[in-house]
Structure 1
Amino acid sequence: MSTWTKIAPLTDIPKLGSRVVRTAKGDIGVFRTEDDRVFALNNSCPHKGGPLSQGIVYGDKVACPLHSWKISLIDGKAEEPDVGETACFAVKVEDGMVFLDIPS
C-alpha cells in the first residue's frame, strides 16, 4: 500500500535541480526538468551509491556526481554502456504542489 504525500510547492524545486525526501526506507530524490516535469528516484546511483540528487539534471536524465553515470529520470535505468537501475516512484503535481507516492 502507498500514500500520496505532499512534498513541496513546485517552485521550491529548482529547474534542473532536485530535493531530497527522507523516508523510513531511504532517501528519494525529487527532480524537476527544464520544462517542469517532475520525477522521483531512489537517491542512490546503481553504480557506487552516489547521491543522484547532487547530480546534474539535463533533459530527462541525471548525471551521478561521483562517476557521471547517466540515469534516466523516466525509468531509473543507466544509459549504455553502463548497466543497472535504481527504483522510481510515482510523483504528481496538483495546483502547484508536488506529491510523492511513498510505499508503506
Structure 2
Amino acid sequence: MANRAYHNYWVYILTNKPKGTLYIGVTGGIDDRMERHIIGEGSKFTSKYKLKMLVYYEEFQYVNDAIAREKQLKNWHREWKINLIEESNPNWLNLWKQLDSETSSE
C-alpha cells in the first residue's frame, strides 16, 4: 500500500435534536462512518439514542491529533460542547448533507 502525503481524519459531534444527546467520535472516513450512523450501525450508543445529525466536525491530517482532540472534547463540560457547536452552527443544522455534497464533487 502506498503512503499518502495527506489523509483526512475527522472529529465529529452527532445529536438527535438541538441541544439533545451528544456523541463525539473520530474517524478516518467520514462518508462511510456517517452512512453507518444513519442506518443505525455506527455504534450502540448512537443507535440507541438515534443520533444522526452531524452538527460539528474538525478535520485533521494526522490521526494522533484527531484522537487527542476527541479525548479533549469528551472531557469538556456539556455547556462547553454546546458553545463550541453554536459558534459555527448556531441553528444546529445537519451539516452532513452539505458536507456530502462538497465531498461528492471532488
When normalised by structure 2's length, the TM-score is: 0.29
Normalized per residue, which structure has more helix? 2
Could you say which structure has the higher strand fraction?
1
Higher Rg of the two aligned structures: 2
